[in-house]
Amino acid sequence: MSEMRGPESPYNFAYLDEGTKRMIRRALLKAVAVPGYQVPFASREMPMPYGWGTGGVQVTAAILGRSDVLKVIDQGADDTTNAVSIRRFFAKTAGVATTTRTADATVIQTRHRIPETALTEAQTLVYQVPIPEPLRFLEPRETETRQLHALGEYGLMHVKLYEDISRHGHIATTYAYPVEVAGRYVMDPSPTPKFDNPKMDDCPALQLFGAGRERRIYAVPPYTRVRSLDFEDHPFRVQRFDCPCGLCGAEGVYLDEMLLDDTGRRMFICSDTDHCEERRAAGHVGTEGA
Amino acid sequence: MSEPLLQARGLSKRYGARIACADISFDLDPGEVLAIVGESGSGKSTLLSLLSTELAPETGSVSYRMRDGVLRDLASLSEAERRALMRTDWGFVRQDATQGLRMAVSAGGNVGERLMGLGDRHYGRIRARALDWLDRVEIAADRIDDPPTRFSGGMRQRLQIARNLVTTPRLVLMDEPTSGLDVSVQARLLDLIRRLVAELGLAVVIVTHDLAVARLLSHRVMVMRGGRVVETGLTDQVLDDPADAYTQLLVSSVLAA
């Protein structure tokens, strides 16, 4: 049963023991069968703090095979601490190939972004989720939120959006924007910017969500309808940016604001570092690109 | 003769060995206001919880005439049906407004919640109806975006009423809605409740320890003691000419101002 990397390795393939992986896979199968439904699972202690992606790491460990190519992003970037640590963790415990190129990856673990490059059927996107319950801030009782999900009573979710409009004049929720999956369950898409919500709809890739501290797994199977909640007179809209990426000139992508010096100079650049690098390699140059 | 809207039969509930309600039966007609009076610990609030299905009775049943005219045992409803009934055709005004309101949500959101629960997805329409209801319970329109934490006790109770009545229910349960308010605020709230009840033809079960409230609002009174109904009848009759010894004591205990 145990599948060691080699006789000298103290770790099972991808760190978790096979029994645990099987337990997680069972939860994943149920999650795929009931899109958007939060499946409880016996989350394990991982060698990293909660909030660093313990849920995503467990899901990745459970689905990873020897021939997989892993990409890990954190806020769109491949080179931040969280992304680098998790990539190295799996390179070490599973010995799988890793990449920063979206097109080359078969498994992409992500924190807070969906890559700009369109995903394919051959890919699986694994989200790290801090708080899986979209109703949590309005209804603190877990027994009650489960009841609301079971009966499909989602009026409360609109109360939150109502509050947004009454306070700000428009729906001011910009991340973790609630979605309805396959016409049934309302789901928290994890703290991705609402800019990425349309990419979840009818996506060819399998999308898996793992919340380690809250012990929940949920999923959106390929080609599933994902609809962002809204009002008839305040329809869902994504963020728009006034200028293209300063480095690669890309438009219609999600941008990060960078402060350049202490006189307030700033530039906007692609949040998806791989997308930006590939465009620059192909010869695209933005206004600030060197 | 109209058919009863609500029918309670042989309701009993104990907490351990202590009897909270014993064998309580009554009918409530559409548009009728029934006051349940008695001192603290007489089982009034437990009875209200039994009626609202928040507590399950040990024996007995509660039946309600649904909008289609069929009298149904509430225990036989599915969870989804029961909850739908509670948030459309019923209202529950609580003694403690913090339990009946969402304190972190604005007044408009509180009133609009039931509408959104019923599937209304038009912000402008929801807001217009919230404004209309705030006006009807005498809350100024410019307070619509304030959370109830910034409201006085009387305003909170009025907001609770608006939140419950926005779906035009046919039955409202009230648990000591005026206690804890000073007398002038109480008087205004009672006036408001009386007006709305008459306007909308609401049936109400109101629990109170204040006989003046019962006198002002109700058509009929049920007097409880130790979990049992000791006397029931028309309000004036019971309060002016009590037959039971305990009711006589209760009536004579009221201080005249």
Q: What is the pLDDT of residues B12-34, one digit of tens each?
A: 999 998 999 999 999 999 999 99
Interface contact A147, partner B, CB < 8 A: yes
Catalytic residue chosen out of the listed positions A36, A53, A55, A249: A36
Q: Is residue B141 part of a domain?
A: yes
Contact B223, B232 (CB under 8 A): yes
User: Rounded to an integer, what distance in angstroms lies between the CA atom of residue B173 and that of residue B54?
Assistant: 12
Which among A155, A165, A167 has CB closest to B123? A165
Q: Which two tokens stand for residue B55?
A: 């507590």
Q: How far is B153 from chain A (nearest CA, A)?
A: 22
Q: Which residue range forms the structural domain that includes residue B50?
A: 1-89+170-180+193-257
Evaluate whether residue B186 is within a structural domain.
no
A203 is catalytic: no
Query: Whole-angstrom Cα distance, residue A227 to residue A254?
Result: 20
- Does B174 lie in the same domain as B249? yes
Residues B126 and B200 in one domain: no
Q: For residue range B121-169, list pLDDT tens digits in order.
A: 999 999 999 999 999 999 999 999 999 999 999 999 999 999 999 999 9
Q: Is B255 found in the same domain as B220? A: yes
A159 interfaces chain B, CB cutoff of 8 Å: yes
Q: How many CB atoms lie within 10 A of CB A247?
A: 23
Q: Centre a 10 Å sphere on the Cβ of residue B243 and count the other Cβ atoms it contains.
A: 12
CB B89 within 8 A of CB B169: yes
Residues B176, B240 share a domain: yes
Q: How far is B178 from chain A (nearest CA, A)?
A: 27
Residue (of A104, A46, A93) closest to A70 by Cα position? A104
CA distances to A111, A154, A218, A269 from A186, in Å: 20, 7, 11, 32
**Between B80, B105, B121, which is nearest A163 by CB?**
B105
Best to test chain B binding among A166, A167, A228 (most B CBs inside 10 Å): A166
Angstroms from B103 CA to nearest CA on chain A: 10
The verdict on B18 and B128 lying in the same domain is no
pLDDT at B159: 96
Sheet holding A179-181, edge to edge: A185-187, A179-181, A226-228
| Number of structural domains found in chain B | 2
- At B179 the pLDDT is 85
Contact B108 A165 (CB under 8 A): no
Distance CA B198, CA B255 (A): 29
Q: Indicate yes or no: CB of B121 within 8 angstroms of CB of A158.
A: yes
CA B173 → CA A234, B2, B43, distances in Å? 35, 21, 15
Report CA dihedral (A149, A153, A157, A159) to the nearest 10 degrees: -150
Cβ neighbours of B83 in A, within 8 Å: 151, 153
Residue B229 lies in a domain: yes
Confidence of residue A10 (pLDDT cuts 50, 70, 90): confident
Structure tokens at A182: 């396959």
Task: Find the residue in A nearest to B106 (Cα).
Answer: A163
The percentage of chain A sitting over the pLDDT mark of 70, rounded to a whole number, equals: 96
Q: Are residues B9 and B82 in the same domain?
A: yes
Picking from B135, B168, B201, the residue at the C-terminal end of a domain is B168
Residue A1 has a pLDDT of 41
Q: What is the mean pLDDT of residues A23-29?
A: 98
Nearest to B11 by CA among B1, B26, B23, B20: B23
Strand ranges, E, within A117-245? 124-128, 179-181, 185-187, 206-211, 216-220, 226-228
Which one from A55, A248, A249, A286 is the annotated catalytic residue? A248
Token readout for B161 is 């009423």
For the cut 70, the answer to whether the pLDDT of residue A222 exceeds it is: yes
Residue type, B163: R
Task: Provide the mean pLDDT of chain A.
Answer: 93
Chain A: give the shortest CA distance to residue B150, in Å: 16
Q: For A39-46, which contacts have Cβ atoms below 8 Å and span 24 or more sequence positions?
A: A39/A216, A39/A217, A39/A218, A40/A215, A40/A216, A41/A215, A41/A216, A41/A217, A42/A215, A43/A211, A43/A212, A43/A213, A43/A215, A44/A16, A44/A20, A46/A15, A46/A212
CB contact under 8 A, A158 and B116: yes
The token pair at A190 is 């994890």
Higher pLDDT, A194 or A290: A194
Chain A environment of B114 (Cβ under 8 Å): 155
CATH number of the CATH domain containing B233: 3.40.50.300
Selecting from B83, B109, B118 the residue whose C-beta is nearest the C-beta of A163 gives B109
Residues B137 and B255 reside in one and the same domain: no
User: Is A276 among the catalytic positions?
Assistant: yes
Contacts with A152 (C-beta within 8 Å, 6 or more apart), sequence order: A184
DSSP secondary structure of A115-146: -SSPP-TT-EEEEE-S---TTTTT---HHHHH
In a domain, B187, yes or no: no
Comparing C-alpha atoms, which of B6, B67, B64 is closest to residue B34? Answer: B6
Among A5-14, A53-62, B154-163, the least confident range: A5-14
Would the pLDDT of A3 be above 70? no
Q: Using a CB–CB cutoff of 8 Å, tell me whether A234 touches chain B.
A: yes
Chain A CB contacts of B106 below 8 Å = 163, 166-167
Residues of B in contact with A163 (CB under 8 A): 105-106, 109
Provide the pLDDT for residue A286: 87
Q: Please, what is the end-to-end C-alpha distance for chain B in angstroms?
A: 40
Question: Is B223 found in the same domain as B202?
Answer: yes
| B117–A233 C-beta distance less than 8 A | no
Q: Report if residue B135 sits inside a domain.
A: yes
Binary contact (B106, A163; C-beta < 8 A)? yes
Distance CA B220, CA B241 (A): 14
Sign of the dihedral through C-alpha B226, B231, B234, B236: negative
Q: Do B74 and B174 fall within a single domain?
A: yes
Q: Is A243 noted as a catalytic residue in this protein?
A: no
Using CA coordinates, name the residue in chain A closest to B117: A155
Cβ B109–A166 below 8 Å, yes or no? yes
Residue B109 near residue B147 (C-beta atoms within 8 A): no
| Residues B104, B203 within the same domain | no
CA nearest B144 in A: which residue?
A166
Predicted pLDDT at A8: 66
pLDDT at A5: 54
User: What confidence category does residue A2 fall into, taking pLDDT thresholds of 50, 70 and 90?
Assistant: very low
How far apart CA B227 and CA B12 sit, in angstroms, is 9
Dihedral through CA A53, CA A57, CA A59, CA A61, nearest 10? 180
* B185 assigned to some structural domain: no
Q: Which residue of A has its CA nearest to B104?
A: A138
- On whether both B105 and B226 belong to a single domain, the answer is no
Q: What average pLDDT does this structure show over A168-194? A: 95
Beta bridge partners of A210: A128, A217
pLDDT digits (tens, 9 = 90+) for B218-252: 999 999 999 999 999 999 999 999 999 999 998 88
Residues 6+ apart with CB under 8 A from A181: A35, A36, A187, A220, A224, A225, A226
pLDDT for A261 beyond 80: yes
Tokens of B96: 């403690």
Say if B6 falls within a structural domain: yes
Contact of A169 with chain B, judged by CB distance below 8 Å, is answered with no
Q: What is the pLDDT of residue A228?
A: 97
Residue B188 domain-assigned (yes or no) = no
Q: What band does A200 get if pLDDT is binned at 50, 70 and 90? A: very high
Q: Are strands B228-234 and B220-225 parallel, antiparallel or unpaired?
A: antiparallel
The three-state secondary structure class of B93 is strand
Beta-carbon neighbour count of residue B138 at 10 Å?
14
Given pLDDT bands bounded at 50, 70 and 90, which one contains residue B256? Answer: low
CA angle A28, A24, A132 (to 5 degrees): 65
B174 shares a domain with B77: yes
- Give the pLDDT confidence of B167-191 residue by residue, as tens digits: 999 999 999 999 888 888 899 999 9
Please check the confidence at residue B254 and state whether its pLDDT lies above 50.
Answer: yes
B126 and A232 within 8 Å at the Cβ level: the answer is no
Q: Where are the beta strands (DSSP E) in chain B?
A: 6-15, 18-28, 33-37, 59-65, 71-73, 90-93, 171-175, 203-208, 220-225, 228-234
The yes-or-no verdict on residue A157 having pLDDT over 70 is: yes
